[in-house]
Amino acid sequence: MKNIVVLVSGGGTNLQALIDAQKRGELRGGEITCVISSKADAYALTRARENGIPTRVVPRKDYPDNASYSKALHEALYQEYADLIVLAGFMTILDGKIIQAFRNRIINVHPSLIPSFCGDGFYGLHVHEHALAKGVKVTGATVHFVTEICDGGPIILQKPVTVENDDTPEILQRRVMEQAEWKILPEAVSLFCEDRITVIGDRAFIDYQK
């Protein structure tokens, strides 16, 4: 069984999707062993506690920069024997050292079809504001490995979602979560834990036959 450590900063609906999948026996080959939050008041922590999952808080505000924060996080991840690190609404950019130490073992869920609406400054509701401003007819979500390039790592899974005429950023965000994020994140975690993902260069290949 692989130890899955989930990093969160906010509401934690993606964490909830992982917990629900685990309860249904759909997180094959892994178990959520710890939830680490960058904020002490993140509701995601309540979700973890209600489900008997150990939690830790490594507050971003206690550290002057990304490098010192990543170092503290790095230590916590070693202490937790993390095999897979899932960024589920985690709003801090990790530095190169931690990414190198856990190469191809950190995955992130992003609320657009990468390479659209991603990179620096594209997070949370802003992503949907930009998608609506551009007038795209289809958006979606992406799960990818984390590399030194923000939102630029090998793509594991993507799922498209239709944009409706009268969408607000909030309505679109909810639809992208329901129809895409909450489905592809647990699926990608399972694929990883079953050793079905191989990274070659910039691409991730999935073996469904294994």
By the criterion CB under 6 A, which residues form the site for ligand GAR?
A: 10-14, 44, 88-89, 109-111, 123-124, 127, 177, 181
Nearer residue to ligand GAR within complex by CB, 30 or 89: 89
**Closer of 9 and 190 to ligand GAR (Cβ):** 9
- Check if the beta carbon of residue 28 is closer than 8 Å to that of residue 190: yes
Question: Which amino acid type is present at position 77?
Answer: L
CA distance 138 to 156: 19
CA–CA separation, 8 and 19 (whole Å): 13
Q: Which of 13, 75, 78 is nearest to 42 (CA)?
A: 13
Tokens 């802003």 sit on residue: 126
Based on CB atoms, which residue is closest to ligand GAR, 87 or 191? 87
Q: What is the per-residue DSSP string for 54-103?
A: -EEE--GGGSSSHHHHHHHHHHHHHHTT-SEEEESS--SPPPHHHHHHTT
Minimal CB distance residue for ligand GAR: 89
- Three-state secondary-structure class, residue 161: strand
Give the nearest distance from C-beta 38 to ligand GAR in angstroms: 11
Phi-psi region of 98 (alpha: psi -120 to 50; beta: other; left: phi over 0): alpha
**Nearer of residues 56 and 194 to ligand GAR, judged by Cβ:** 56
- Selected catalytic residue, list 74, 110, 130, 144: 110
- Among residues 82 and 88, whose Cβ is nearest to ligand GAR? 88
Tokens representing residue 110 in the block: 């992003």
110 annotated active-site: yes
**Cα 15 versus chain centre, distance:** 9
The catalytic residue positions are 110
